[in-house]
Structure 1
Amino acid sequence: MILFPAIDLKDGQCVRLLRGEMAAATVFNDDPAAQARAFQVAGCEWLHLVDLNGAFAGTPVNGAAVEAILAAVDVPAQLGGGIRDMATIETWLDKGLARVILGTVAVEKPELVREAAAAFPGQVAVGIDARDGRVATKGWAEETDVKATELAQSFEDAGVAAIIYTDIERDGAMGGPNVAATAALARAVSIPVIASGGVSSLDDLRALRDCGAPLAGAISGRALYDGAIDLPEALRLLRD
């Protein structure tokens, strides 16, 4: 399993939200590029970036911060938030992103996911953010009747590189991930699944690692900034 440290960008700063509420943002670093370098120096193999403003606006907003991160590190990075057309996908991949994450459009324009995955093999992931098993879109501001598992299964033959599954109620709450739901999703599809939301301790990482489902990775943010997870120890745990 790969540990993906999260760098969530709001107004050019590195923040964490509580359950996706923009008004409940805590600033952890006003220099996202420096934060990215610190994660790389600590031994992280990937970075998980989110343009929070972009997720609400529907178009990239924190582009300068993302570009600064890409210039500052050598490890691959994936980005979600405000990526809703082919031109934006192409632009970000040209700028050096290893992978784009498509969330809202996976529900609203599934054909775009298929087109992008075919055009850029291995570089397109689907972000599935859910409350009580149902998908939320547009920065989690709008809820749908689409079931997370059914959405994931609909892309089985599309060639997407990964699914990032977030339990919104757990995100930023430091209460632990929804291991059962994440494992169930991973068992329901052959696409690699990355767990997100509530990963707040080494025990949480251990539970995901040992859940019996083939999880590809886990994303953690607040716990790394707060020191609740010792990053070097976490990396050793997942590598072992």
Structure 2
Amino acid sequence: MIIIPAVDLKNGKCVQLVQGEPGTEQVIIDNPDEVAMHWINKGAKRLHIVDLDGALGSGENLEIVKKIIQKSEVPIQMGGGIRTIEDAKKLLESGINTVIIGTMAIKNPEYITQLSEEYGSERICVSLDSKDNKVVTHGWTEYTDKSPVDYAKIFEEKGAGSILFTNVDVEGLLGGVDLKPVKELLSNINIPIIYSGGITSLNDLKILSELGTDYVVIGSALYKGLINFEDTLKFQK
């Protein structure tokens, strides 16, 4: 299992929101590029960047991202505000290793095939955010009629190289992991699963590792000091 620190960007700063809600910032740090390097120096093998301004349609943080790319020696996966194929290509050609595509993929599944064929499936990740076991889109505000497993099967066939699964029911609440949907994905899907949401303790990581989870993204628990990143390395491949 690879442990991936989250670097969420908003208004040029590194932040952590509760349940993804604007205005709930509990962590605000200047110089996100230094934050990124902090995690790399601690042993991170990969970084997870989300452009919250892009996701909320209130701007972008691409210049900061480019600064992180220049400094980083590890792969970077990034999502937030990718609404068109051109948006995805812009990030892929700027040096992002893997783009994470959410609502656009649900609306246009054929775009995943197109991008995978052009850039390689390993660089294309589909984000599936789940509420009440239904995939939600548009910043978690609109429900679809399909479960994460239903959509994951579709995108596996379309050529996605990985699935980022975020359990919105527990995201940002620091209350632990709900294992049922993770188990369902791992038993039904062959491409790597990146898990995010609710990780609070090393025991959460132990359980996810034992289940065979490929990657885990951690945000709030790291920034609030509930988990020491060096302690997570014992679960890392």
User: 2-side partners of 1:165 and 1:69: how far apart?
Assistant: 24
Higher strand content, 1 or 2: 1
The correspondence of residues 114-133 of structure 1 with structure 2, limited to 5 A, is 114-121=113-120, 122-133=122-133
Does the aligned pair in 1 maintain the 2:27–2:223 contact within 8 Å?
no
Deviations 1:81-114 (A, max 9, x none): 1112221112111111000001001211111111
User: 1-side partners of 2:202 and 2:136: how far apart?
Assistant: 28
Does the aligned pair in 2 maintain the 1:134–1:148 contact within 8 Å?
yes
Count residues in correspondence: 236
SS in 2 for 1:88: helix
Q: CA deviation at 1:141?
A: 2.6
What's 1:69 paired with?
68
User: 2-side partners of 1:161 and 1:112: how far apart?
Assistant: 13
SS in 1 for 2:208: helix
**Aligned sequence identity (%):** 35
User: 1-side partners of 2:15 and 2:146: how far apart?
Assistant: 29
RMSD: 1.4
What's 1:85 paired with?
84
Does the aligned pair in 2 maintain the 1:52–1:139 contact within 8 Å?
no
Moved more, 192-201 or 132-141: 132-141
* 2:114 matches 1:108: no
What's 2:18 paired with?
18
User: 1-side partners of 2:2 and 2:231: how far apart?
Assistant: 13
What's 1:209 paired with?
209
User: 2-side partners of 1:72 and 1:80: how far apart?
Assistant: 19
Unaligned runs of 5+ in 1: none
The correspondence of residues 31-50 of structure 1 with structure 2, limited to 5 A, is 31-50=31-50
Moved more, 60-69 or 223-232: 60-69
Of 222, 229, 232, the residue aligned with 2:230 is 232
Moved more, 36-45 or 18-27: 18-27
Does the aligned pair in 2 maintain the 1:19–1:173 contact within 8 Å?
yes
Q: Which runs of 4+ in 1 moved over 4 A?
A: none
* 2:80 matches 1:97: no
Q: CA deviation at 1:188?
A: 1.1
User: 2-side partners of 1:71 and 1:42: how far apart?
Assistant: 18
Distance change >3 Å, CA 64–CA 194, structure 1 → 2: same
Q: CA deviation at 1:28?
A: 3.3
Q: CA deviation at 1:60?
A: 6.2
Deviations 1:137-173 (A, max 9, x none): 1222322223211111112222212100000121111
Does the aligned pair in 1 maintain the 2:209–2:235 contact within 8 Å?
no
What's 2:179 paired with?
179
User: How does the TM-score come out when normalised to structure 1?
Assistant: 0.94
User: 2-side partners of 1:60 and 1:102: how far apart?
Assistant: 17
Moved more, 123-132 or 67-76: 67-76
Q: CA deviation at 1:41?
A: 0.3
User: How does the TM-score come out when normalised to structure 2?
Assistant: 0.95
Q: CA deviation at 1:61?
A: 1.2
Letter in 1 for 2:73: D
User: 1-side partners of 2:174 and 2:232: how far apart?
Assistant: 16
